[in-house]
Every structure is written in structure tokens, then in C-alpha cells.
Amino acid sequence: MTAPSGATGGVTDAEWSAAAEAVRGLTGGDDGDKIQLICHLNPDGDALGSMLGFALGLRRLGFTRVRATFPGRFEVPEPYQALPGRDLLVPPAQAYRDAGLVMTFDVAAESRLGDLVELLPPAPRVIVLDHHASNTGFGRINLVDPRAAATSVVAEGLLNRLGVPLDPEIAECFYVALSTDTGSFKFDMTTPAVHELAARLIGAGLSPGEISRRTFDTRPFGAMKLVGEVIGRAALDPTAAGGRGMVWTYATLANLERHGQRPYVLDSLIDPVRSVAEADVAVVVKELAAGEWAVSLRSKGAVDVSRVAVSLGGGGHRLAAGFTGHGTPEEVAATVNGLLAANLI
């Protein structure tokens, strides 16, 4: 079988075959045909889209006991609440504890699974689908392709090998995943193969304009005010990263409360910050709890931000990475700046 358009060849034929056989080998009549899908904490478009698209594909194959979930607060960000397959999402407490197959999506390390990591050891089959170069290979079968623009590329590749054709619902999930992780097809990972896959997804019956408006161009008024406040405190250090420059800002839980917003509205904040011409590196520090921060890192190409993130217990790609920081936001930014100065780039 030829590789699906969008596939980049980072997964071997043996790994594809092992994953397909693990799905096909599920038995019926007992707990063996229960399938539990998991994506990471605070899921983004790729995590949810790739997971739900694959879940719908499993349903097309005839599996009736399929559940999808993610750790932490069970809250689907507003831009993704209309995704097909939402009926397959369950709170973490309702996840199968005795699944015959556990699959993870867009999860680079077990730490990103929170308490749901406990579902992995008892499962006879664990398949990891991911595209992060920092993936730790924690599955029994690992479909990890760092050259893929999104995890949805890997998920579509496996569905193709299982003989599941695209339909409008599966295609919409994968399109949301692909478009969000490529920044509306403008990041460096946007290859000809990515556009070929997008064309096939649109050809399945999508309305890309409507999906883009819902995903990228619809936010509450309070979110706009919040972003304005957070961007207003941004700081630029043109000497950071060996003179390549670093711009950073932070958002607190008090900021969210003041504007009546949920944390997901900050997910896209990195985009205007990374547009600063004088900086190659952009950093957004978002408060999770007292003294604990989710840190997003971006590079325009001169700096490998994944090296900084991995050294601090996180992960990601050369141009996009993240980690959990501690202390004050100024201390977190100083730590990043120090690692950049130490040539971890």
C-alpha cells in the first residue's frame, strides 16, 4: 500500500503493520474490545482533532466500545466544542480501566497524561501516535513522526492502513487538527504533502471557511480585552539568545477572572507575541496555580526552543515547545533567558 498523502515516512512499515494488527486483533465478547483514547492535558486542536477523528474511524470499523478523554479539568475549549465525535468524549473518571487497547494522541511523554498514566500498565496494547521529536517512546507500539506537521497526519495514516475511508466527520476533525498545528498552513512544517492531505480532507465534504471562522476567528469580547492587557505588559530583550532577541509576557489567573475568561483563550496568545520583528524567541507564561506556570516557547528558526523545554522537563519541536515553570513569571523568563545564553540553542 502506498503511504497516504501527508505521511512523511518517519514511521517504519513494521511499526505501521504492528499498530494495524493491534487494532485488528481486538477480540469481542469481553473487555478485549474496549478501546480507550487519551490526549494530553489542556488539549489543543491537534490533540482533540486527531483523537476524535480516529475515534470516529474506529466506530466506522464496527467497534462500539470506544471512549476518548484527557486528564485534568474536563473542559473542551470553545473553538472545538462543535467537533464531530464529541459524544465519544467522557470525563477522566469514566475512562475504561480495563481496555484491551489504549491509544494516546499528541502526547510526547507520560507526564502529559496526568493521573491517566495509570491506564497504561494494565493495558495489553498501548499505541502512541505523535509527532514530537522529544517523544519518550513510552508505548508498546510507537507511531512517532517528528517530520509530520501534526499528529493528525499520523492518525490519518493509520486509518488509511486500516481501510477506513475519509467521510465529512473524520475529515473535519483531521482538518481542524492540521490547520491549528500548522498555524493555518503558514508554519515551516507546511509541506506539499500537507497541502495534498488538506485537499483530500476538503474533498471529503468540508466547509474550510466555516471551520476557520469557528476555530480561529471567533472569540468572546472579554478575551479580546484580556489579550490586550497581557500583550500590553510584554517585554523585549534584543540581546537575548545571542543577540537574536526574546520577547515575553505573562497572564495570571486574576487576569482571567477579571475578564471572565477560561484558560483556553490564552492558547492563541503566542501568535501575536511571536510576530515581534526584533525577537527570534517568543515566550508566554500562563499561571496554572500559585507559583506554577505553563510556558509556551516559539522560535522563528534561529533557535531550537525544544532544547530549552526538554532541559526543564518539557518537550516539543525546534520551533514550538513548552514546559511547566515555577516561581514568579520574571524568574521563569530569566531561566529561559539564561539557558539561551548558555548556548542551549
Q: What is the pLDDT of residues 239-261, one digit of tens each?
A: 999 999 999 999 999 999 999 99
Question: Which DSSP symbol is given to 25?
Answer: T
Average pLDDT over residues 281-285: 98
C-alpha grid cell, residue 6: 501527508
CB 175, CB 153: distance < 8 Å = no
By C-alpha distance, which of 287, 227, 233 is closest to 259?
227
- Number of H helices and number of E strands within the chain? 12, 11
Q: What is the pLDDT of residue 6?
A: 40
Q: How far, in Å, are 272, 332, 333 from residue 327 at the CA level?
A: 25, 7, 10
Is CATH 3.90.1640.10 what the domain over 13-216 is classified as, yes or no? yes
Q: What is the pLDDT of residue 315?
A: 83
Q: What is the pLDDT of residues 209-236, one digit of tens each?
A: 999 999 988 889 999 999 999 999 999 9
Question: Which part of the chain is CATH 3.90.1640.10?
Answer: 13-216
Q: Which phi and psi angles does 315 have, rounded to 5°?
A: -175, -175
3-state secondary structure 122-190: CCCCEEEEECCCCCCCCCCEEEECCCCCCHHHHHHHHHHHCCCCCCHHHHHHHHHHHHHHCCCCCCCCC
**CATH number belonging to the domain at 221-341, selected among 1.20.210.10, 3.10.310.30, 3.40.50.920, 3.40.50.620:** 3.10.310.30
Strand order in the sheet with 281-289: 235-237, 246-251, 281-289, 292-299, 320-326, 315-316
Q: What is the pLDDT of residue 156?
A: 98
The CA distance from 20 to 265, in Å, is: 37
Average pLDDT over residues 117-145: 95
The CA distance from 170 to 167, in Å, is: 6
Q: What is the pLDDT of residues 169-199, one digit of tens each?
A: 999 999 999 999 998 898 888 899 999 999 9
Question: Which part of the chain is CATH 3.10.310.30?
Answer: 221-341
Q: Is the pTM of the predicted complex or chain greater than 0.85?
A: yes
Q: What is the pLDDT of residue 7?
A: 40
